[in-house]
Amino acid sequence: MRYASAEVRKQFFIDMFTRDISLEDCVLDLIDNSIDSYLLKHGISISQLIFGPDPNGAKRGFGRIDVTCNERQIKVVDRCGGIPRKRAMDEIFCFGHDPDDQAGKLGAYGVGMKRALFKIGNKFDIVSQTETEGFEVSLTIDDWAKEKDWRVPIKFVDGADSEKQAGTSITISGLREEVALRIKEGGVPNNILSDAATTYPYFLNQCVKLRINEIDVPPKTISLGESEGIVTAAREKLTYNGVRVNLAATIAPGQRTTEEAGWYILCNGRAVVRANKDDLTGWGPDLASFQPKYRSFVGLASFESDQPLSLPWTTTKRDINRESAVFIHTRNLMVTMSKPILTFLNRQYPSDAATEVGDIRNAVGGVKEVSFREIASKPTAGFSYTPPKKKDKKNDWVRFQAPIALLDKVRRHLRRPSLTPSDIGRYTLDHFVKTECGTD
Amino acid sequence: MSPISSSLRVQYDLRPAKQVERRMIVDALQRLQPAGFSITDYQYTGFGAIYFVDFILFHKLLGMSKLLSLERMTGLTTRMEFNKPFKCVDVKMVSASSAIPNLSRDIRHIVWLDYDGVIHKDFLSDIQSAVTVLPAGSILLVTVDVEPPEDYDYKQVNPDFDGSKEVLGPKHWKNYFEFQASTYLKLGLTESDFGRVELRSRTAEILKASFTRSIVPRAQMEFLPMFNFIYRDSHWMLSMGGMIAGPTEKRQLLSTTLRDTEYYRDNFDTPPFEIAVPRLTRKERIYLDREMPCADGWTPKDFDLDAEELRKYRDIYRFLPAFAEILV
């Protein structure tokens, strides 16, 4: 048997696999790793964060992540526990995870950090210290790319001495020309901030605090609404191949913009798809095309697994793999859940003047924020709207036209020329009730 | 008006073919009981309108008492409530799309989406919802009109369409089907595939595809065909349906005597069962019934009857209603 060459060429590898991801998403990949360190160190499950209650939440301190982004360098420094030497030696510089490696929750593929390093700059310095041990790696990528050897030189250093100081620092310098250009163009730190705010609503200020260029990143929560006895959210759950899926779809509280409407998809708590309104989540052929009248629609799909590779995310974690079996299973449910909500929202704008329009608009405007946890804890059911019961009326209008001559006749009879027509109406009704109906 | 059209008009009011379909469905459900499907405990959800004919049959003949009738036309509320035949019939003024996700997942269902229009994207979305949420052992039936779409329908495709200037034909019908169900149609269809008679095949393909597409994502589940009726009281109508089944339900279904019936269809690729009601007098029916079920080739001695008519009668005589006038 002869063998044809099928080796991986380093330079091609570096150039190719950095093309399909944005600069911002590369930085988020590094943040993912920091969050993963924290989750691993404290044994926190994703369910605790999303569905709580998190019994130890108050006791443990926050992990801290600081991102610096300027025209010279991009730096991510965390105090989230650090990387053990063994993982540094055997795992983190490899492409893809070893099957025996204790997988993180957000680092699914084992490519995020390497791809970020290659994409952003020509030089990187990593220092990581757990409480007891540490290591350093400094590498110039262009030099490394010329060598056949895929290994990376590593130096051991001391631990951080205290749990609080334990963490990892990644500095990428010698920025690639196109990266430097984008940063120079402006807006990159703002993008990272807003992307992080919407990507980590279940992590920020729950387990980690994140700052971009010294600005705190507040979580941008995904708001779901219900109103007691009137609007109830649709909720479904299923488990497929070890992936736990929880779904909720409903009306969002407050004033909404069309940008916020749509489906949000979480993979292990990380928002992978935000405000989706296209075929991915059933809009278009299966439901209806999105229109501004649907701006109050919100759906939340959470996929959770201890094996992140089973989740339906793509490697950039910014999209869903449509060929994922668990997603195919879930998508029909998402469509089924959405349809009644769109029908309900359509009823705000009927083609004929219907009396219910006011009730529907009040219901849409009247929903109050409820947590995903609260919705998901209820048994599976579809969206429901119960029109408010009409209150039993105590009073009603009596209104009719009467000849002025007759009204004058009553005024003359009572010798009260100033009586208004409604006074006369009331007087004559009272009189009739008193004299004809009795006191019963 | 000619005598023929007049007799058709009378038939339409009484809808004998529809009634045969209902009776065959009842027969099928009765045949499921001994195999372990406790039909009595199933919930029936249908569109009872103001007549509730199917509800009366299912309650009286099958003992079902969880009955839900759906109606979108809020104008019919009081008439529906007034005409409710039994206390156990629940009437909800909501569309099927809103009601289906709220059907209990803890009991089995028979859902009959008995639409009176030609294929529509809303029907397909209802089918998708039902096949997605109904528990294993549940039965879904869908009835649609397979006549060509009319001016009113076509206006959904082209709101400017003017029926007084242009007559609808296969070109428009193709547009209509593509508008409502593009992703369910086979590739490469041409106008000639949308001729009047072809529309029932296209509709059947769409319904079949929608059952399949919706069941595929459910692990271990199949949509097992049971019914495929075509019949005509005035319009040609197509009814297709089957069971949402896991391996257990599949075994149970295969152990029933449904296979012995003429109407059972366990494959949507075989032609539908045509419910054809022969025109017979009461006297002829009494005579024929005494010989039923007759052997192949048997013919009545006392009057001439086409062999084909006789075969049709043999297929449906057990289910065919006898209409009579009562003076009340």
B156 plus B204 within the same structural domain: yes
pLDDT score recorded for residue A8: 83
Which is nearest to A371 in space by CA: A206, A193, A197, A195?
Answer: A206
pLDDT score recorded for residue B286: 93
B135 plus B161 within the same structural domain: yes
Q: Is the pLDDT reported for residue A353 higher than 60?
A: no
pLDDT score recorded for residue B279: 87
Q: Is the pLDDT reported for residue A390 higher than 80?
A: no
pLDDT score recorded for residue A102: 66
pLDDT tens for each residue of A61-111: 899 999 999 999 999 999 999 999 999 999 899 988 887 776 688 987 888
Q: Residue B111 is which amino acid? A: V
Cα of A202 to nearest chain B Cα, Å: 28
Q: Is the pLDDT reported for residue B209 higher than 70?
A: yes
Who contacts A102 (Cβ-Cβ below 8 Å, separation ≥6)?
A: A40
Q: Is the pLDDT reported for residue A322 higher than 80?
A: yes
Helix (H) or strand (E) holding A29: helix A23-42
Domain count, chain B: 2
CB contact under 8 A, B214 and A332: yes
pTM value?
0.82
Whether B20 contacts B277, CB under 8 Å: yes
What is the distance between the alpha carbons of residues B33 and B27, in angstroms, rounded to a whole number? 10
B195 plus B282 within the same structural domain: no
Q: Is the pLDDT reported for residue A195 higher than 50?
A: yes
Cis omega (within 30 of 0) for bond into B293: yes
CA dist list (Å): A102 to A33, A46, A90: 13, 15, 12
CB contact under 8 A, A240 and B133: no
Who contacts A431 (Cβ-Cβ below 8 Å, separation ≥6)?
A: none
- Facing B97 at nearest CB: one of A330, A339, A384: A339
pLDDT score recorded for residue A392: 59
A82 conformational bin, left if phi > 0, alpha if psi -120 to 50, beta if neither: left
pLDDT score recorded for residue B78: 87
Cα of A55 to nearest chain B Cα, Å: 33
Q: What residue ranges do the domains of chain A occupy?
A: 10-216, 224-385, 404-437
Q: Is the pLDDT reported for residue A406 higher than 60?
A: yes
- Facing B97 at nearest CB: one of A285, A329, A343: A343
B28 plus B143 within the same structural domain: yes
CB contact under 8 A, A382 and B102: yes
Who contacts A69 (Cβ-Cβ below 8 Å, separation ≥6)?
A: A27, A75, A183, A188, A189, A192, A212, A213
Q: Is the pLDDT reported for residue A355 higher than 70?
A: no
Q: Which residue has the higher pLDDT, B139 or B281?
A: B139
Q: From start to end of A63-205, where are the E strands?
A: 63-69, 74-79, 121-129, 133-140, 155-158, 167-175
Residue A240: closest C-alpha in chain B? B219
CB contact under 8 A, B128 and A335: yes
Residue B25 phi/psi, 5° resolution? -65, -40
Cα of B119 to nearest chain A Cα, Å: 15
B216 plus B250 within the same structural domain: yes
CB contact under 8 A, A329 and B105: no
A332: contact with B, CB 8 A cutoff:
yes
Half-sphere exposure at residue A177, Cβ-oriented, CA atoms within 13 angstroms = 0
Q: Is the pLDDT reported for residue A293 higher than 90?
A: yes
Provide Rg for chain B, Cα atoms.
21
Three-state helix/strand/coil letters over A292-304: HHHCCEEEEEEEE
Neighbouring CB atoms inside 10 A of B115's CB total 18
pLDDT score recorded for residue B68: 97
Whether A105 contacts A269, CB under 8 Å: yes
pLDDT score recorded for residue A438: 72
Cis omega (within 30 of 0) for bond into A84: no
Contact list, B183 vs chain A (CB under 8 Å): 285
Token code pair at residue A282: 């059933």
CA dist list (Å): A385 to A205, A304, A363, B75, B128: 34, 30, 8, 19, 21
Q: What is the rounded (10 degree) CA torsion for A3, A9, A10, A15?
A: -150
Complex prediction ipTM: 0.77
Lowest mean pLDDT among A283-297, B97-111, B117-131, B142-156: A283-297
What is the distance between the alpha carbons of residues A235 and B71, in angstroms, rounded to a whole number? 24
Overall average pLDDT of the A242-252 stretch: 96
Look up the domain containing B286 and give its range.
278-328
CB contact under 8 A, B101 and A343: no
Mutate to test the interface with B, among A238, A245, A339, A357 (most CBs of B within 10 A): A339
B250 plus B286 within the same structural domain: no
B36 plus B103 within the same structural domain: yes
Q: Which residue has the higher pLDDT, B247 or A53?
A: B247
Whether A134 contacts A142, CB under 8 Å: no
Helix (H, G, I), strand (E, B) or coil at A194: helix
CATH of the domain at B241: 3.40.50.150
Architecture of domain A224-385: 2-Layer Sandwich (3.30)
What is the distance between the alpha carbons of residues B30 and B17, in angstroms, rounded to a whole number? 20
* Domain A10-216 fold: Heat Shock Protein 90 (3.30.565)
Whether A231 contacts A385, CB under 8 Å: yes
Overall average pLDDT of the A25-52 stretch: 92
Q: Which residue has the higher pLDDT, B288 or A362?
A: B288
B35 plus B168 within the same structural domain: yes
Can you spell out the DSSP letters for A285-348?
TTS----GGGTTEEEEEEEE-SSGGGS-B-TTSSSB-TT-HHHHHHHHHHHHHHHHHHHHHHTT
B157 plus B247 within the same structural domain: yes
Query: What confidence tier does B2 reach under pLDDT thresholds 50, 70, 90?
Result: very low
Q: What is the layout of strands, in order, in the sheet containing B273-275?
A: B89-92, B66-70, B43-46, B109-118, B139-145, B236-245, B222-232, B273-275
pLDDT score recorded for residue A439: 64
Mutate to test the interface with A, among B92, B128, B182 (most CBs of A within 10 A): B128
B191 plus B323 within the same structural domain: no
First-to-last C-alpha distance (Å) of chain B: 29
Q: Which residue has the tokens 């529907």?
A: A360
Who contacts A314 (Cβ-Cβ below 8 Å, separation ≥6)?
A: A320, A321
Neighbouring CB atoms inside 10 A of B142's CB total 25
Overall average pLDDT of the B166-170 stretch: 94
What is the distance between the alpha carbons of residues B67 and B47, in angstroms, rounded to a whole number? 11
What is the distance between the alpha carbons of residues B13 and B7, in angstroms, rounded to a whole number? 10
DSSP A380: P
What is the distance between the alpha carbons of residues B101 and B98, in angstroms, rounded to a whole number? 6
A235: contact with B, CB 8 A cutoff:
no
B212 plus B289 within the same structural domain: no
Q: Where are the alpha helices (DSSP H) in A387-433?
A: 404-414, 421-432
Overall average pLDDT of the A22-49 stretch: 93
Whether A175 contacts A73, CB under 8 Å: yes
Q: Is the pLDDT reported for residue A419 higher than 60?
A: yes
